[in-house]
Amino acid sequence: MKVSKTTTFDFAYPGSKKRLEYEHVPFSQYISAFVNPFSFLVMQAAVKERQASSKKYSDELDSILAQLQDLTVDSPTQKINDKIDEEVTSSTIKNEWHTNYSVQSRSQDIDTSEFDELFEKTKPVAVKEMVKPLTDTENKIIDEALSRKKSGTASQFKKVTVDYKDIHRLKPETWLNDEIINFYFELLSERQTREGFPSIHCFSSFFCSTLRDQGFAKVKRWTKRVDIFAKDLIFIPINQSYHWTLGVIDMKRKAVIVYDSMGGNHDHSLELFMNYLQQEHLDKKKSPLDTSDWKLETPKDIPQQGNMSDCGAFTCTFAERLSRNEPFNFSQRDMVPIRRRMVLDILNKTL
């Protein structure tokens, strides 16, 4: 049986741990040394050789440890600190340059209007209110209207009338009917006469269904007294399967658009309105309409409703914002105040 003994040397240095093992002379060689002198000499030579080798490895390890101690490594933190120092120094230089330049400009009467103009451009823009808040007096009027019995006329403007039973449809999570839609779009048409607003024409909620079901011949007289090609925007409220959307013909952009608060596609309606434009132009202008550069659009990056009942309020608000060249800065959470303001607008007969 061969017996062996192992001695372990541990050397530790930053970041790792190295273990070196040296196997001593087998015990059987010690026994044979007493029996055979020659074996003793061989064993002694082996021991000296191993000791020399061990010393050599030890010296090499000491050298490596010394090199590691002298080694300097730039840590990520140090690099970041150096970068910050560089940026601070650069910023300080820029500030000193601007200060010196400003002093020189004042002393030498140099025109600084360019700096003033740049400053105005970089001023933070005030965030506009998404929905104009109602006053206490306005809220009282609205509450009284919504709490009244459903009988009787609430408001009448030109040829459109809204009863209190229609006003009740402006309560939260209630579908809007044709009466509310048509009254509101009539108010939009009236407001466009004010200076600064785009010129618009609003069709009634029955235009799309009549055009779709009975054709151009049934609606061509609807524009007997208006030239839609002289307008900026044409609004067409669409009701399909109890869902309200807004059709828009943008004459300036040469685009036919359907705004849907549920993100649907409306290829049929877009083609329907495009064909209507061509027939209307041929009927009123006596010449074909060049549609080669017209676009058909159903925008998806617009406010979306979060229930199944606010499509009518979204449709009216889309039209209201477009009629003022304002962005769609509203969302589902604004529907209750928007509905309440619609009550007030209808009662006051103005937007």
Which residues are identified as catalytic?
243, 260, 311
Strand 200-202 and strand 243-250: the pairing is unpaired
**Alpha-carbon span 196 to 185, nearest angstrom:** 18
Closest CA to 327 of 190, 127, 191, 184: 127
Exposed / middle / buried, residue 116 (Cβ in 10 Å: 0-12, 13-18, 19+): exposed
The whole-angstrom distance between residue 339's C-alpha and the CA centroid of its chain comes to 26
Measuring CA to CA, which residue among 208, 262, 216, 212 is closest to residue 235? Answer: 208
Helix/strand/coil for 18 = strand
Report whether 300 contacts 263 (CB < 8 A).
yes
Q: Alpha-carbon distance 273 to 280, whole Å? A: 10
**Which H or E run contains 9?**
strand 6-13
Please, is 71 exposed, middle or buried when counting C-beta atoms within 10 Å of its C-beta (0-12, 13-18, 19+)? Answer: exposed
Residue 229 has a CB neighbour count (10 Å cut-off) of 15
The contacts of residue 172 (CB under 8 Å, 6+ apart) are 335, 336, 339
